[in-house]
């Protein structure tokens, strides 16, 4: 079962990021409406069947719909990290992996399909580079396969 972010969580994440980086809080009503729509739409398995489809749409929408007054690229990375985190995935190196990618998405040199491919490669690297489980059994199935559509349920969060 995939866990999803709420609009309130997305705004809180944005505010924390811009506070840390001395950016500006705030959003446009139109832009935040687009983000709310994206957060709702990724819950539709017909349109976004895989976890990676959902992650790509979330990041892409935050960049392209420009919901916030400042920090949309930074926020998109951290929304992606939070989405990974609440679904039980490690997000080591996620920010550094996407740092240049989000700029290219904003410039229009990378589209959503390319972004999804980059994210699939990142998730595949997680699968290959898993850390050993707490019992030091590197062959255990305790860590989720990041390319499946049904990650584990790690905590009490909004579920669909």
Per-residue pLDDT, 44: 97
Domains of the chain, residue spans: 7-128
pLDDT of residue 128: 60
- 7-128 to CATH, choices 1.10.3720.10, 1.20.120.1870, 3.40.50.300, 3.20.130.10: 1.20.120.1870
What digits encode the pLDDT tens for the residues 36-89? 999 999 999 999 999 999 999 999 999 999 999 999 999 999 999 999 999 998
pTM: 0.80
pLDDT tops 70 at residue 155: no
pLDDT at 152 over 80: no
The contacts of residue 109 (CB under 8 Å, 6+ apart) are none
Rg of the chain over all Cα atoms, to the nearest angstrom: 16
Q: What is the pLDDT of residue 92?
A: 86
52 and 14 Cβ atoms separated by less than 8 Å: no
Out of 5-19, 36-50, 53-67, 133-147, pick the least confident: 133-147
Q: Which band of pLDDT confidence, cut at 50, 70 and 90, is reported for residue 102?
A: very high
Please say if the pLDDT value at position 159 is more than 60: no
Q: Which residue from 47, 68, 54 is spatially nearest to 148, judged by alpha carbons?
A: 54
């Amino acid at each position: 079962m995939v866990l999803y972010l709420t609009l309130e969580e997305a705004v809180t994440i944005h505010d924390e990021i811009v506070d840390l980086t001395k950016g500006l809080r705030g959003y446009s009503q139109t832009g935040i409406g687009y983000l709310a729509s994206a957060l709702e739409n990724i819950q539709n398995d017909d349109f976004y069947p895989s976890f990676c489809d959902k992650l790509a749409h979330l990041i892409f929408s935050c960049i392209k719909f420009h919901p916030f007054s400042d920090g949309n690229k930074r926020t998109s990375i951290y929304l992606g990290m939070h989405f990974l985190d609440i679904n039980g995935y490690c997000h080591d190196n996620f920010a550094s992996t996407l740092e240049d990618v989000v700029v290219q998405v904003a410039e229009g040199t990378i589209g959503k399909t390319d972004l999804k491919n980059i994210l699939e490669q990142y998730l595949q690297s997680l699968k290959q580079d898993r850390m050993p489980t707490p019992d030091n059994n590197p062959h255990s199935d305790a860590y989720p396969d990041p390319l499946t559509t049904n990650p584990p349920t790690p905590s009490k969060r909004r579920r669909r």
